[in-house]
Amino acid sequence: MSLTYLIHRPATSIAEIAEYLDRLSPDHRWHEVRQLGGSDQARLYELAESAPPITLEHFAPPDRPDLREVIHDGKNTLPVFQTFQKRFTRPGDGSARLFGYNEGVTRALLGPGYFVVHATAGNADWERRGAIVVDYFLEPNGPVAPGWPKVVPNSQGLQMLVYQGTRDFMRRVSRHVSIGAAYKGEKKLGAYFALCRQD
């Protein structure tokens, strides 16, 4: 049994995938997510349409203090630099949003790619894509977690080639795992990534 097997097995439900992943140790869970290729992630995003809506608490659980970093390891479908991290924090202002940035080998060249995470409720087109959006049109306008890099607008430097004008729409897979689809403006890019939260 493996995650890739379940994804492509006919009649597998997202509930079965969630149950499988929830039973794994953290290391084994991340190992399974790291094996996902492009077709696996595209199929997983489709299956996750029927999952319970993902929430902000998935990315920054309520037991973590405000401005405490929560790390999600990621695997994307790009040709190179496929592993990375998205790091999230809950701002200390009580608002229904999260701040975050991208960490990995490309940060020194491209920049941190800051974003704001918020619900898609109220926009019917967005809601169909996922209940939560990682929104690069927005940058944190308040304090971020200690030790994070300086907040730089996505319109500056080389990061504008990757992050500017981008939104990632997120769906729930399991208690720790989510799947996202990237859009440039309102155009789907055909690029996906899976995240696995560290505990």
> Could you read off the pLDDT tens digit of each residue along the chain, which spans 199 residues?
899 999 999 999 999 999 999 999 999 999 999 999 999 999 999 999 999 999 999 999 999 999 999 999 999 998 888 999 999 999 999 999 999 999 999 898 889 999 999 999 999 999 999 999 999 999 999 999 999 999 999 999 888 888 999 999 999 999 999 999 999 999 999 999 999 999 8
The SS3 assignment for 147 reads coil
Collect contacts of 43-48 with beta carbons under 8 A, ≥24 apart: 43/7, 43/8, 44/7, 44/17, 44/173, 44/179, 44/192, 44/194, 45/171, 45/179, 45/180, 45/181, 45/192, 47/7, 47/12, 47/13, 47/14, 47/17, 48/14, 48/171, 48/172, 48/173, 48/179
Taking the mean position of all CA atoms in its chain, how far away is CA 141?
20
Q: How far is CA 167 from the centre of its chain?
A: 11
pLDDT of residue 79: 84
Please give the sequence-ordered ranges of beta strands (E in DSSP) within 31-121, or none if there are none.
70-76, 83-89, 98-103, 115-119
pLDDT for res 157: 87
Exposed/middle/buried for residue 185 (C-beta within 10 Å: 0-12, 13-18, 19+): exposed
Give first-to-last CA distance, the chain, whole Å.
24
pTM score:
0.96
Place of tokens 């690029």: 191
How far apart are the C-alpha atoms of 95 and 9, rounded to whole Å?
41
User: How do beta strands 166-172 and 115-119 pair?
Assistant: unpaired
How many Å apart are CA 165 and CA 153, to the nearest integer?
11
Say what the pLDDT of residue 109 is.
85
Q: Is residue 174 within 8 Å of 48, Cβ to Cβ?
A: no
Dihedral sign of CA atoms 28, 26, 35, 12 in order? positive
